[in-house]
Structure 1
Amino acid sequence: MINKKLSIILSAYNVENYISKTIDSLANQTSNNFEVIAVDDCSTDDTVKILQDYEEKYDWLRVVCHAQNAGASAARNTGLKLTTSELVTFIDGDDWVEPSYVEYFLDKFSEMPNVDLVSCGFFIDSKNGKSKPQLEKKELGQVSRDEAIKQIIKMNGSVMGYAWNKAYRRSIIEENELKFPTDLTLMEDQLFNVQYATVAENFYLNDKPLYHYVSRKDSITKKFDMENVRDVGVATMKVYKTIHQGTKEERQQEET
């Protein structure tokens, strides 16, 4: 694969009914300065076959298969090990993006050379195909670390804790050895984003909707069980512990 400026890490598991739309939306991007590392998490349907057919068609697509099912976080971590691009973003195998998704991120990082994290807005697509944009009540733009974290941990709005509507600097991820937690099935994105924000410096947030989150009845976030309750509790504790530690270290630096 030719080295591109933006790596899109695509995590996929049993999404044979959705993955073609995902890849087609990437093929229709207005900028071709990107690569896609698709990590299949041991699907039992035709997801891998569909991906491999696309891999033969597009030189910007690389397909990697897990030998055992390990979860979305593990798939993303696998992708992070394989990318060499300057910038990184994520996409789920049942979602899709607007044609200017890649161009938007590349433009913002180009316009603001010191920015470390850029977000875009998103649509929620219902099962009947309707798309509802998630908008902010106030203008965001370039914000402080405190404001960025505040927006990441909010339970509504256009930023929130998702990884798929944000692009990151790979160097910050690697230098700080950041990974998605594999012991959680919920809120793992939020924890990763808070950890990233505590070590990043400059943030640009926008509600321009470019990502389509497809709401599915069989999604893990739709299911309620005690394991999910445990994960939310553990993740919330880790999020606030990370924020507290980051604030403490910042105060100590100011005092020295």
Structure 2
Amino acid sequence: MYTPKISIVIPVYNSEQHIKRCLISIRNQTLIDFEAIIFDDKSTDNTLEMVQDIIKNDARFKVTINQKNYGVGKTRNLALKRATGKYILFIDSDDWIAPTTCEVLFENAELNKLDVLEGDYRTVYEEEPLHDIHIHKSGSIQILSGIDYIEKQPFIGAVWNRLWLRDHLKKFSITFYEDISYGEDVYFSFNGIYNANRIGKINFTFYNYFQSENSLSRTVVKDQHLRGLLKLTEYFRNSFNNSQTKKQRKVFAKMLAKCMVHANKLLRNSESETSNLHHELRKETNTSLHLLGIKFLQTTEIHLLGRLIFLVSPDFYNFLFRIKTQISKF
């Protein structure tokens, strides 16, 4: 059975303004042995017509239309089931990649026998002039186990700046949360990296992450933000509880701390402080803080340095808090 080198997964929904740039960047790849799996999540604009016009006569592109609007998590999962490539690369429909992306990522993943390979990205804002990127600086590649990588890295959320070995994803049944539309990529990336024996980081900026005024991360906090973060916080709290080793506890404590810091930010900017989701997330945050042995302090009482210490090392923050408590008794 023929196996493409890379399966490129592109979920699309009402993307008529930007889909052309995305698909052309894929069509222009220097590595031609790929399949592009496009799942249209029941768009209501002209996205589908534009897609079909751009990819006509190119058998590498395969289009599927969802029966209804499922959301990005389930749409990506459906595309993963359809994928046949050795590696998986995710691209969002309003983003685009450098021409040598597939070639460079595939060669480095194969050479180093990696489960996951990470490159770099740049954020492009709508109001900025656009220009292409072709940055590939040679040098040694750093290879770590997944759990060591998580200990060292400040951010692991995105799925699109990494190449994923499909057999690795299948072995550990790594999929996206389907019932949330915010944070589903954090769950996927964490599990994909955590279970990896070999993850590499290459000095290669290939991905253009486009941010418009309507992008999710630039809009007001809504219930979908709270719902997604609530589920992630619950997941990392339960994982922390079930950890078997000190190293596992450290990793899950780090992720749980990140969720709680982000939760405090969302709660301050939430549209409604009276919503059930608002109260559920605040309750979950307090439960998690108690679990880590840290007395909950109101956000206004935590100065910037304290928040940074808490984010980097919950154990050290707890240690400092206990010292402060003991001193205050005298």
Instruction: Report TM bin, short chain.
Output: 0.7 to 0.9
TM-score by length of 2: 0.67
Mapped pair 1:123 → 2:122: yes
Deviations 1:172-224 (A, max 9, x none): 21222221001221111111111122322101023421000000211222231
1:54/1:61 contact within 8 Å kept: no
Q: In the alignment, what sits opposite 1:29?
A: 29
Structure 1 195/67 Cα, relative in aligned 2: closer, same or farther at 3 Å? same
- Partner of residue 224 from structure 2, selected from 217, 220, 227: 227
**Further displaced range: 233-242 or 35-44:** 233-242
Take 1:173 and 1:110, find their aligned partners in 2: how far apart are those partners? Answer: 16
Please state if 1:193 is matched with 2:189. yes
Q: Quick check: 231-240 or 50-59, which moved more?
A: 231-240
2:1 is the alignment partner of 1:4:
no
| Corresponding residue number in structure 2 for 1:148 | 149
Aligned residues of 1:184 and 1:231 also touching (Cα < 8 A): yes
Return the structure number with greater relative CO, CA threshold 8 A, min gap 6. 1
CA distance 1:244–1:33, shift in 2 (3 Å): farther
Alpha-carbon spacing, 1:226–1:207, altered in 2? closer, same or farther (3 Å)? farther
Aligned residue number for residue 281 of structure 2: none
Which residue in 1 is equivalent to 2:77?
Answer: 77
Q: Distance in 2 between matches of 1:62 and 1:163?
A: 21
Q: What's the CA shift for 1:143?
A: 2.2
How far apart, in 2, do the equivalents of 1:90 and 1:58 lie?
Answer: 19
Aligned counterparts of 2:80 and 2:170: Cα–Cα separation in 1? 9
Consecutive unaligned residues in structure 2, runs of 5 or more: 134-139, 249-330
CA distance in 2, matches of 1:243, 1:211: 33
Structure number with the higher helix fraction is 2
TM-score by length of 1: 0.85
The Cα shift of 1:105 comes to: 1.3
Q: Secondary structure at the match of 1:120?
A: strand
**Deviation string, structure 1 residues 89-129 (Cα, Å, up to 9, x no partner):** 1000110000111012111112112x110011001011123
2-side partners of 1:175 and 1:127: how far apart? 39
Q: Which ranges in structure 1 are unaligned for 5 or more consecutive residues?
A: 134-138, 252-256
Displacement of 1:2: 6.2
Higher strand proportion (structure 1 or 2): 1
Aligned partner of 2:103 in structure 1 is 103
Aligned to 1:136: none
Distance 1:209 1:244 in 2: 37
- Cα RMSD of the aligned pairs, angstroms, is 2.6
Query: 1:87 offset after TM fit, Å?
Result: 0.7
Structure 1, 207-216 or 91-100: larger mean CA deviation:
207-216
The CA distance in 1 between the partners of 2:243 and 2:115, in whole Å, is: 17
Q: How far did 1:23 drift?
A: 0.7
Which structure has the larger Rg over C-alpha atoms? 2
CA distance in structure 2 between the partners assigned to 1:246 and 1:26 by the alignment: 41
Instruction: Count how many residue pairs are aligned between Structure 1 and Structure 2.
Output: 240
Task: Please give the per-residue CA displacement for 1:25-81, whole angstroms capped at 9, x wherever unaligned.
Answer: 111111112110001111001111111123323111001110111111111111101
What amino acid does structure 1 have at the position aligned with 2:163?
A: A
The change in CA–CA distance for 1:143 and 1:57 in structure 2 (over 3 A counts) is same
Question: Which residue pairs with 1:254 in the alignment?
Answer: none
